[in-house]
Amino acid sequence: VAIANCKRCGRIYNRVRRDICPACIEEEDKIFVKVRNFLREHKNAYMDDVIEGTGVDMETLIQMIQDGRVILSNNPNMGYACERCGGITRSGRFCAKCTTELARTLAGASAEMKKKTLEQQQRRGGYYSR
Ligand SMILES: [Zn+2]
Ligand SMILES: [Zn+2]
């Protein structure tokens, strides 16, 4: 068992599998149920309505959607900024357009990424050896 600082409340806890403590997991589960029920009852809700209605914060809400725990298929007004172009997306980190573009350039990007990672490792190696 590893000791870690909870990413959410900062308390020290025995890390099991999540990067937040058991109290926060319980808290998040409660919020998750609230969000899910809220979206079911308010099909035309916007992000702000959910935040106001359930007490969830924007970051947690987006995280839940990105993790696929909250599905927006019945909530047409829900959405958040694509991390790439800033357009509206309703699942994952990127909008549909960027997902397509990214998939197309993935081969090239992963080659580029490998190169970058290698460079970073070399740089880091240099730093630590000092
Ligand atoms: Zn915590
Ligand atoms: Zn986009």
pLDDT tens readout for residues 14-64:
988 888 999 999 999 999 999 999 999 999 999 999 999 999 999 999 999
Beta strands in the chain (DSSP E): 2-5, 12-15, 80-81, 88-89
Q: How close is the Cα of 95 to the center of ligand 1, in Å?
A: 31
Q: How many A from CA of 16 to the centre of ligand 1? A: 13
Ligand nearest to the Cα of 86, by number: 2
Which ligand does the CA of 13 lie closest to?
1
Q: Give the number of the ligand closest to the Cα of residue 15.
A: 1
Residue 111 has a pLDDT of 81
pLDDT surpassing 90 at residue 125: no
- Measured from the alpha carbon of residue 11, the closest ligand is 1
**Percent of the chain surpassing pLDDT 90:** 68
Dist. CA 81 → ligand 2 center (Å): 8
Ligand 1 center to 128 CA (angstroms): 32
Q: How far is CA 83 from CA 17, 39, 87, 88, in A?
A: 27, 23, 8, 9
Is pTM beyond 0.85? Reply is no
Ligand whose nearest atom lies closest to the CA of 93? 2
Joined together, the tokens standing for residue 87 give 């357009």
Q: Which ligand is nearest to the CA of 8?
A: 1
Residue 53 CA to residue 45 CA, distance in Å, equals 10
